[in-house]
Amino acid sequence: MDTELRPQKRSISGEIRRRNQELILQAAADEFVKHGYKGTSVQAIADRVNLPKANILYYFKSKTGLYKALLQDILTLWNEGFSESAIDSSPQAVLRNYIVGKMRYSRTHPQESKIFAQEIIQGAPVIRDEIQFPVVNWAAGKASVINAWVEQGLIRPVDPLHLLFLIWGATQFYADFDTEIQLIKGAPMSEEEFEQAQQFLVDVILRGLAVTS
């Protein structure tokens, strides 16, 4: 009987752990975006989720560990949808999905996007050592895909890094500067307006890459 129950107990325990980590990461995002890395305390995060400070440290060891875990999640999600296997796929489909996915993530996770922007603007003082090599490798891999598309005549010749910079800047603007958008428009973007913005960016970028005779 005990043997039959152990897998179920492990499953329940794992689910509790996952749920607690998600709650902690969301609370951490709320605190970091409001107070920055230096102004945020583990106790404030614990208070926000009604957990003992010791529980936070059990999962993430330290404030720095929690901060890095949050930013690593952001990078992982941002980088999905544009693998190096895309070299054999339609650039229009790959880039459309990548642009739409990044914009959607920025809309559903605005705090995380702002935290990453704050960290980078400050010179990446906390995560530079952890992200520099992976980000450089990621950008090099995507640049090789874009160059291959150019060589195949699927898109016009472009500097691949400038294309990536354009996509990152344009898609993240809708999260990082949502307050500016609201000030100009007088109200937050509706879902319909957001989808129009997605389509606009996709059209502008893909038209700019189109091969002309």
* 14-18, 47-51, 71-75: which is most confident: 47-51
pLDDT over 90 (residue 16): no
Q: Which residue has the higher pLDDT, 136 or 184?
A: 184
* pLDDT (average), residues 115-140: 86
For the chain, the maximum distance between any two Cα atoms, rounded to a whole number of angstroms, is: 73
CA distance 191 to 193: 5
To the nearest whole percent, how much of the chain has pLDDT over 90?
54
The CATH classification number of 67-209 equals 1.10.357.10
| Residue 207 confidence (pLDDT) | 95
| Residue 213 confidence (pLDDT) | 44
Neighbours of 37 (CB within 10 A): 17
To the nearest whole percent, how much of the chain has pLDDT over 70?
92
pLDDT over 80 (residue 115): yes
Kindly state the DSSP code that residue 62 receives in the 8-state scheme.
Answer: S
Kindly state the DSSP code that residue 81 receives in the 8-state scheme.
Answer: T
Residues of the chain with CATH 1.10.357.10: 67-209
Secondary structure of residue 208 in the 3-state scheme: helix
CA distance 99 to 40: 32
| CA-based nearest residue to 111, from 70, 79, 76 | 70
Residues of the chain with CATH 1.10.10.60: 13-61
Q: Which residue has the higher pLDDT, 147 or 76?
A: 147
| CA-based nearest residue to 29, from 106, 104, 109 | 109
Amino acid at 180: E
Around 140, how many Cα atoms within 13 Å sit in the side-chain half-sphere?
6
pLDDT over 90 (residue 180): yes
The CATH classification number of 13-61 equals 1.10.10.60
Token digits for 166? Answer: 């354009």
pTM, to two decimals: 0.81
